[in-house]
Each structure stands twice: as structure tokens, then as C-alpha cells.
Amino acid sequence: MNIKSIILNTIGWLFGTVFFAIGIVNTFWGNDAFFGIFILLASYVYFPPVNVLVKKWTGFSIHWVLKIILGLFILWAALGVGELFDKIDLMLMDL
């Protein structure tokens, strides 16, 4: 593996994990569990093993521009409309 692929894989794991966590919070502490499940499923786009499977099954991979657009949508929906920080406070109160 070269340094570029290591950096891209690390970025993929990082964003995948962050968006997966946002999906978990929205699923269990939000007012719309289906939206949380959507974010949870959309987070799989960022994990490198899923990219390998998609390329193997379909013959093409998901373009990085689409990943950026999806990531911006998830962040906008979770932070702006979804009030993520309020949901995190609710989650912490349950612990």
C-alpha cells in the first residue's frame, strides 16, 4: 500500500465511524428512527471494505464527489435540522 491509499483509508474509516455514530444517536434518541437508520446505512459508503465489495459486485466504486455531497447532507441534517447536540444531551442523561 502506498501512502495515498493509507491516508484515504484512514479518512474513510474516520468519516464512516463519525456518521455511524450520528446514525446511532438519531436512531435511538431522535424523534425519527427511520432517519437515523438512513444515516446509519449511508455511513457504510465510507468504510473501505464496503467500497471493495461494491466494486467487486458492480464493477465500479462510489465516486469521491458523491461521498462529499452525502457527507455534507448528513452533517447539515444532523447538526442543523436534526439538533444532534440536543440528542447527545438526551443520550448522556440516559446513562
Residue range 62-80: mean pLDDT, rounded: 90
Q: How far apart are CA 41 and CA 76, in angstroms?
A: 17
Please count the structural domains in the chain. 1
Q: How far apart are CA 15 and CA 26, in angstroms?
A: 16
pLDDT, residue 46, reads 96
pLDDT, residue 29, reads 83
pLDDT, residue 15, reads 96
Cβ contact 78:21 at 8 Å? no
To the nearest whole number, what is the mean pLDDT of the chain? 89
**Stretch among 3-12, 20-29, 57-66, 86-95 having the lowest mean pLDDT:** 86-95
pLDDT, residue 85, reads 79
Confidence of residue 32 (pLDDT cuts 50, 70, 90): confident
C-alpha cell at 48: 473501505
* Identity of the residue numbered 22: I
* Residue 77: domain span: 3-94
C-alpha cell at 72: 455534507
pLDDT, residue 81, reads 72
pLDDT, residue 39, reads 94
